[in-house]
């Protein structure tokens, strides 16, 4: 099974057709399972509104991402992430969700993001960051 946690920055690059979009799209297709925390939906819809894009236009892209919905506080994961470096709240939350999802098998989950600091911390935590 191949799986990747998708950060909003990665998905938005595809949605907005940024120069790296074709490469990111190919990279995303490599994974059988594409996952993200529900925060991705809020961030993506907010960015779509900001850019004047129809919110309904995001439907197919959002439908391709399965949601991670923890049933408990992720404070333990948040603290672990912060032990490897400072991140802004949303970036921190995405990595905490990825930790929750991966459990002890972090090497089996790729973490896809465009954010340099977030990718650096993800690598330190043991995630692949292709």
Domain ranges of the chain: 3-125
pLDDT confidence of residue 120: 97
Residue 95's closest CA among 47, 129, 60? Answer: 129
State the Cα–Cα distance between residues 67 and 34, nearest whole angstrom.
Answer: 9
pLDDT band at 30 (very low <50, low <70, confident <90, very high): very high
User: Residue 38 gets which letter from DSSP?
Assistant: T
Cα separation, 54 vs 38, whole angstroms:
19
pLDDT at 1: 58
Task: For the chain, give the mean pLDDT.
Answer: 95
The band of 102, judged by pLDDT with boundaries at 50, 70 and 90, is: very high
Tally: H helices and E strands in the chain: 7, 4
Model confidence, pTM: 0.93
- Homologous superfamily (CATH) of 3-125 is 5'-nuclease (3.40.50.1010)
């Amino acid at each position: 099974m191949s799986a990747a946690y998708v950060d909003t920055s990665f998905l938005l690059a595809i949605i907005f057709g940024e120069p790296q979009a074709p490469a990111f799209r190919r990279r995303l297709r490599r994974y059988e399972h594409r996952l993200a925390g529900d925060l991705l939906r809020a961030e993506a819809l907010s960015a779509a509104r900001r850019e004047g894009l129809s919110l309904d236009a995001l439907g197919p892209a959002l439908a391709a991402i399965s949601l991670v919905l923890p049933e408990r506080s992720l404070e333990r994961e948040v603290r672990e992430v912060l032990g490897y470096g400072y991140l802004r709240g949303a970036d921190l939350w995405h990595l905490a969700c990825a930790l929750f999802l991966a459990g002890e098998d972090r090497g089996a989950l790729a973490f896809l993001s465009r954010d340099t600091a977030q990718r650096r911390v993800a690598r330190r935590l043991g995630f692949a960051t292709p």
